Structure 1
């Protein structure tokens, strides 16, 4: 794989700009994972600590760190699916930027899937698990975001993006509320996957898996 240096660029802003242009245009146109417990005693979080500082992180390092976490997630998901209760509706909730899609490692549209996460998602969706995506992206680009997710291989059972009323809401609170909504539809959230603490805090998931954000430097 070609190494791509990690550049701190405005990935989400660039995506939003490209998405708005798309909608407006004419038709046709080597770290060992560790497991810690969250505030909820029954919820474990699997995370990978980076071996280098954020300024030194390149694409291959990021992929290796992501793979380390997903190597823990896949056997858990496999076991949890195998042990599903009769009639149980299982779901996984995922963040988007630098979780399900590559955002800060060069910009393109559609954005590529984060392959280690896609592999786990594909196993889950092939075994009847619904995928819900919760993002802090604004609702104005929800349709192109959903297209992007489907284009790279994710089956989207639901996509939550921030409406006007959510723009000044605490991100962790907003994301927790969306998981509550998923549960209200009768789903058991067997896993919640993201790269920021705000993606994972607040409970309402049996287990959480944190991808690297290098001390908050990766959006």
Structure 2
């Protein structure tokens, strides 16, 4: 069993345990020569290069993942700052986030509550402090909606809306399901200025001005 698969299974098992508990309680040489060659300083690999290396090696470490997430959020934050500044008076701005390995460290957070993905949390906090509503669209089933909302709020996210899959949604294509939820948010009068996730199914289908994809290393992260 691969490290990624084992991590996902461990994370899902822990999450299922949390769900039952929550529902039960109210609430990354030179060849030798006669004279030594001068030392060579190698520039750090870019985020895409690290992602490719991690995917090829068959395992992803937390530090590499965090650096790669930070690289994406270093692009997202300036855009969000500019977009907020350029917004029309009275505009209802929103950002849509995925949950697993986007806002929360699902495949790395082996305790409850699961820790926030810090680079994403920093961007979310900036947005919410500047009047942007935060919506979370996840493929998690409805049975764990309450613990998911608690986890997000505990970590510092303001949850203006959490969308989880109901029974009928479990039979739908995930990308189609998520697209429909974003369309619903727009129907409430919001302009989705950014959509942030780690999978193509989080971002396809439109209904967002700009998308930012976090690494999933060819599907190694859920």
Per the TM superposition, whether the score is higher than 0.5 is yes
Q: Which has the higher strand share?
A: 1
CA-CA distance at 1:133 after TM superposition:
0.1
CA-CA distance at 1:145 after TM superposition:
0.5
CA-CA distance at 1:108 after TM superposition:
1.1
Of the structure 1 ranges 195-204 and 49-58, higher mean CA displacement relative to structure 2 is found in: 49-58
Answer yes or no: is the 8 Å Cα contact 1:50–1:212 preserved in 2.
yes
Partner SS for 1:103: coil
Whole-angstrom distance in 2 between the partners of 1:49 and 1:125:
31
Q: How does 1:1-16 map to 2 (within 5 A)?
A: 8-10=7-9, 11-16=11-16
Whole-angstrom distance in 2 between the partners of 1:118 and 1:51:
25
Q: How does 1:110-189 map to 2 (within 5 A)?
A: 110-189=113-192
CA-CA distance at 1:129 after TM superposition:
0.0
- Give the count of matched residue pairs: 200
Partner SS for 1:214: coil
Aligned to 1:42: none
Residues 72 and 144 (structure 1 numbering): CA distance in 2 closer, same or farther, change over 3 Å? same
Structure 1 consecutive aligned stretches of length 4 or more whose deviation exceeds 6 Å: none
Whole-angstrom distance in 2 between the partners of 1:206 and 1:31:
30
Q: How does 1:3-82 map to 2 (within 5 A)?
A: 8-10=7-9, 11-25=11-25, 31-32=45-46, 50-54=51-55, 55-82=58-85
Whole-angstrom distance in 2 between the partners of 1:173 and 1:93:
15
Whole-angstrom distance in 1 between the partners of 2:16 and 2:213:
25
Q: Over aligned residue pairs, what C-alpha RMSD do you find?
A: 1.9
Greater C-alpha Rg: 2
Whole-angstrom distance in 1 between the partners of 2:207 and 2:174:
15
Q: Deviations over 1:149-190 (max 9, x none)?
A: 000000000000000010111000000000001000100000
Whole-angstrom distance in 2 between the partners of 1:22 and 1:206:
36
Which among 99, 102, 120 is matched to residue 102 of structure 2?
99
Answer yes or no: is the 8 Å Cα contact 1:90–1:129 preserved in 2.
yes
Q: Deviations over 1:85-135 (max 9, x none)?
A: 121100000000000000001421111000000000000000000000000
In the alignment, does 2:202 pair up with 1:199? yes
